[in-house]
Structure 1
Amino acid sequence: MASELLALKKASGLSFAQLSQKTHYAKSSWERWVNGKQFPPRDAVESLAGLCATPSAQLLDLWDRAQAEREAGVAPDAGVAPGTDGSPPRGRRSRSLWIAAVLGLVLVVGGALAAHFTLGLVGEASSPPPSPSVKVAGPQTGCTGTGCEGKDPKKMNCGADAVTVRTGSIPKDLVIELRYSRACQAAWGRISFAEIGATVVVNNSDGAAQADVVHYDRDVYSPLIAAPDDGSVWVCAALPKDKARSCTGRFIPSQED
């Protein structure tokens, strides 16, 4: 359930704050539901599907199945012995849970069969194009977080989902970029239109730093550095024989999801 919500959130391009503004649920609630910390209410799932212009039937069917499994697996309240006035007898409770599980399965199977025959009839009549699928899994990477320290972003496949989150420059032409990968939870610095001897340094708020120098051509990128959600990362660059450095602004991942 959480992975589907996360995929929809990413597809929508909305932040948790924007989701809160467009629905009647709080930003903190959306964060817990999308990250799997808490099971979402059915209305919230339907609201997110509506915001993303995605058919809600499949998502709500998934919610129904998850809810049925949760209800079937409910344990007795802590501190109340089975068979007392605070909980039903063990046999009756087990039978109730079994009935709930069977009913949930019947509803799921019945709904799936109904959807199959309905879609089959509609397909024969109008042959609509298939609905686009939502990709849930992110890119396969070779490292995450502090495990990426000092490694090459290309070799770790961190560039697969990377974006430039901050930029800067040194007159006249040198361009500074802070590159960030959510999948790797890491960042690196890149400079372009530089000259031999120019340096790039990526830093984080934990005190770590990684650097590289232009040895030939006009560009270079630094090794990876960890970019924790609640920490900050930034990039600085300097020209040869110039002690003055120019830096990008700081990027804090948790504030810009």
Structure 2
Amino acid sequence: MTMSNDDNTSVTPSEPGSPSPAPEPGSPSPAPEPGSPSPENRRGWRSNATVLALVVAVTGTVVASVVTPLGDRLMKVILDEPTCPGEACDGKNPKNQGCAEDAKSFKPETGNPAMLSLRYSKDCQAVWAKIERGNPGDQVQAKAAGHGERNAEITYDDDQFTQMVAVGDGEFQVTACAIPQAGRGSKYEHYCIQASEATAWR
């Protein structure tokens, strides 16, 4: 069916359901629907998402490094200033200061019922004493000639160690003693062991 408009131009209506005519070459692209992102915006969002993912990954790595044992030890060292070596180690916990990492021991294999030992850290220039088979109330002592003395008591279980005694980087003589609590029927009597910088530390 053909219809006429006001300027007598004939127009043939399209059939219902028929496809819209293709745009002529050179005609502008249809404007995007309101609210839909442009291709440029979509590329920007993807770029921002990539950056955010990288930031999260880096942050996770940093947090993981802090909660590792090494990070934990570093935090303890910071909170327990001044740090070792030398005189700054005197009276400090060898584990918290990291001195136990390079430490070597002198522990006699015979005549040592309390498994008493001396520990020496060359890096920290300090010694401490340790007891492994004591009883609550027993004491362990570390004494360095001309330097100082440290004592510790077993509060539970059967082992304990003293704080450090600084000995410097030269010659030294140290003594460790296991002191049972009186009246508790200990399996050993008060005894001591001795060592020096020339001892075969292992």
The residue aligned with 2:101 is 160
Find 1:221's aligned residue among 140, 150, 161: 161
Task: Report which of the two has the higher share of strand.
Answer: 2
The residue aligned with 1:25 is none
**Aligned-residue CA RMSD (Å):** 2.8
Find 1:144's aligned residue among 58, 64, 85: 85
Q: With the length of structure 1 as denominator, give the TM-score of the two structures.
A: 0.41
Tell me if 1:182 matches 2:122: yes
CA gap of 1:169–1:145, structure 2 versus 1, over 3 A, is farther
- Alpha-carbon distance in structure 2 between the residues aligned to 1:168 and 1:199: 20
The residue aligned with 1:252 is 197
SS in 2 for 1:236: strand
* Aligned residue runs from structure 1 range 36-115, under 5 A: none
CA gap of 1:256–1:202, structure 2 versus 1, over 3 A, is same
- Alpha-carbon distance in structure 2 between the residues aligned to 1:256 and 1:145: 21
- Alpha-carbon distance in structure 1 between the residues aligned to 2:158 and 2:116: 12
CA gap of 1:256–1:170, structure 2 versus 1, over 3 A, is closer
Tell me if 1:192 matches 2:132: yes
SS in 2 for 1:155: coil
- Give yes or no for contact 2:177–2:190 (8 Å, CA) kept in 1: yes
- Alpha-carbon distance in structure 2 between the residues aligned to 1:213 and 1:169: 23
Query: 5+ unaligned residues in a row in structure 1: which ranges?
Result: 1-139
Give the partner amino acid of 1:236.
Answer: C
- Alpha-carbon distance in structure 1 between the residues aligned to 2:190 and 2:155: 19
- Alpha-carbon distance in structure 1 between the residues aligned to 2:110 and 2:116: 5
CA gap of 1:241–1:163, structure 2 versus 1, over 3 A, is same
**Sequence identity, in percent?**
25
Q: With the length of structure 2 as denominator, give the TM-score of the two structures.
A: 0.51
- Alpha-carbon distance in structure 1 between the residues aligned to 2:158 and 2:110: 14
CA gap of 1:168–1:194, structure 2 versus 1, over 3 A, is farther
Task: Report which of the two has the higher share of helix.
Answer: 1
Q: Deviations over 1:49-83 (max 9, x none)?
A: xxxxxxxxxxxxxxxxxxxxxxxxxxxxxxxxxxx
Q: Deviations over 1:86-114 (max 9, x none)?
A: xxxxxxxxxxxxxxxxxxxxxxxxxxxxx
SS in 1 for 2:146: coil
Q: Which has the larger radius of gyration?
A: 2
- Give yes or no for contact 1:169–1:175 (8 Å, CA) kept in 2: no
- Alpha-carbon distance in structure 2 between the residues aligned to 1:176 and 1:149: 21
Cα deviation for residue 170 of structure 1 reads: 6.8
The residue aligned with 1:204 is 144
Q: How many residues align?
A: 116
SS in 2 for 1:174: coil
Please identify runs of 4+ aligned residues in structure 1 that moved more than 3 A: 166-171
- Alpha-carbon distance in structure 2 between the residues aligned to 1:194 and 1:200: 9
The residue aligned with 2:173 is 232
SS in 2 for 1:250: strand
CA gap of 1:149–1:166, structure 2 versus 1, over 3 A, is same
Q: Deviations over 1:171-219 (max 9, x none)?
A: 7x41100000011000100000211111000000115100100000110
- Give yes or no for contact 1:199–1:211 (8 Å, CA) kept in 2: yes
SS in 2 for 1:202: strand
